[in-house]
Structure 1
Amino acid sequence: MKNIVLIGMPASGKSTIGKMLSKKIKYEHYDIDRYLEMKENKKISTIFSEEGEKYFRDLETKYIKELSERKGIIISTGGGAVKRAENMEELKKNGIIIFLSRKIEDIAKENHKYRPLLQNIENINKLYKERIELYNMYADITIENNKTLYKITDRITEILKRKNII
């Protein structure tokens, strides 16, 4: 059984769609950010402020490797997981990578109270420009997140069934 891995910008719907897909196809869902916080017993914001981004990225890689060894699960990555090739190599070994693409304008409309990197459109554009090539390069499937979450979840399920993944 292959894992289903969701990648994309912050606020592209990875966690929400991952949870919905989990219920629909009966796979366990793991959100890398929440998993890391649980394992470390610390919020990511605290890890960033106390230890810095490199330390966080090292932890992220550690837990991506750990979860990638499992089979038949859904993994919602953090938006920056694609920044390290080793993360994506691990996720691809036993997973199908789905890029949830969402318009920058739609991301900007969301409430990003707890996401300092998304506080303004300039930061969102900067992140997008840094990462879009990586999302496209690693994606096995690209899904536009421009409909209801239920329609997106149904579309993913349909594609995975057609490809004999589920």
Structure 2
Amino acid sequence: MKNQTNCLFLIGMPGSGKSTIGKGLAKALGRPFIDLDHEIEARCGVAIPVIFEIEGEPGFRKRESQVLEEVAQQPDVVIATGGGAVLAESNREILSQHGVVIYLKASVEELVRRTSRDRNRPLLATNDPKTRLYELLDERSPIYDSLADIVVETGSASVPSVVQQIVTRLKDTENT
């Protein structure tokens, strides 16, 4: 049952702009905004790298799924998911059943540029983050593509321009 709670879910690689564009989109549409990673941190009382350190990626993914399931019940909310939230089948079902899925796409070069100074990304805490981003993109892009109702390139465009593009595309999908 599509659009059960009419959420807007932003998916994409780390650094694709989910949080930044999500805030702008929520403001433009007059909706509440939830950053899934920030919500997990608020509930756990520690940063995501600490959760990874203590529980590993499986422990983090379990928490991510629980929080996603809860926030997806809220009506008319814009939710920025974590880049790997799409890996769990149960999460993919939540995304496709509870709203519109917007895939924010960016080149690996752009992702490297945007994430190079961010120490809050445990999966990129490696000697070669660019190679790691290529590996993650190879694994995840088919999933992102299959889930997406709307795909938007976030490369060099400004945040307001990407937000406007999404708003326009949402109106177009409502009218079809």
How does the TM-score come out when normalised to structure 2? 0.89
Runs of 5+ unmatched residues, structure 1: none
Tell me, in whole angstroms, the C-alpha distance in 2 between the residues paired with 1:134 and 1:47: 25
* 1:50 shift after superposition: 0.8
The residue type paired with residue 157 of structure 1 is: V
Q: What secondary structure is seen at the aligned counterpart in 2 of 1:142?
A: strand
Counterpart position of 2:20: 16
Counterpart position of 1:28: 32
Query: Deviation digits for residues 111-139 of structure 1, max 9, x if unmatched?
Result: 33312433521111111111111100111
Change in 2 beyond 3 A, CA 1:42/1:116: closer
How does the TM-score come out when normalised to structure 1? 0.94
Residues 71 and 94, structure 1, Cα contact 8 Å, conserved in 2: no
Q: What secondary structure is seen at the aligned counterpart in 2 of 1:42?
A: coil
Query: Deviation digits for residues 87-132 of structure 1, max 9, x if unmatched?
Result: 0111221210000010111111223331243352111111111111
Say yes or no: does 1:113 pair with 2:102: no
Tell me, in whole angstroms, the C-alpha distance in 2 between the residues paired with 1:53 and 1:94: 25
Residues 4 and 72, structure 1, Cα contact 8 Å, conserved in 2: yes
Measured on the aligned residues, the alpha-carbon RMSD in Å equals 1.4
Change in 2 beyond 3 A, CA 1:3/1:89: same
Tell me, in whole angstroms, the C-alpha distance in 2 between the residues paired with 1:35 and 1:74: 13
Tell me, in whole angstroms, the C-alpha distance in 2 between the residues paired with 1:99 and 1:11: 12
